[in-house]
Amino acid sequence: MSTSWRTYFGFAEDNTDETYPQAVQRAKRLLQQENYEDACRILKYAERQRHAEAMFLLAWCFWYGRGVREDAGKAMRLWKMSASLSFEPAVERVQELKKAKERCGT
């Protein structure tokens, strides 16, 4: 992960060899601490690198409006992209939403 990216997010003093999976784990800790804005910044960057778990977590943020403006359409797109990368929780979420849509008749 680039030093400039880490400096932008205020983490230059940390391990500069952090990988995207490690960054996503840090974002998960931030989500648990309800530090949604910082978590979303990390997840957005990892999502642009096509990190499936980051897409999945960022989708939840958009779904509930945590750290970002609520946007169900963007959440769905992210879940579908994550599912297309075979991230099992995203595959399950997309299937759940598809079934719910069918039950509603839409």
Q: What is the mean pLDDT of residues 2-8?
A: 56
Q: What is the DSSP letter of 27?
A: H
Tell me the three state secondary structure of residue 79.
helix
Q: What is the pTM assigned to this prediction?
A: 0.83
* Domain made up of 20-104: CATH architecture: Alpha Horseshoe (1.25)
The pLDDT confidence band at residue 63, using thresholds 50, 70 and 90, is very high
pLDDT tens per residue across span 74-105: 999 999 999 999 999 999 999 999 999 888 87
CA distances from 15 to 11, 22, 31, 92 (A): 8, 10, 20, 34
- DSSP letters for 31-67: HHTT-HHHHHHHHHHHHHTT-HHHHHHHHHHHHHTSS
> Positive or negative, the Cα torsion across 68, 71, 77, 80?
positive
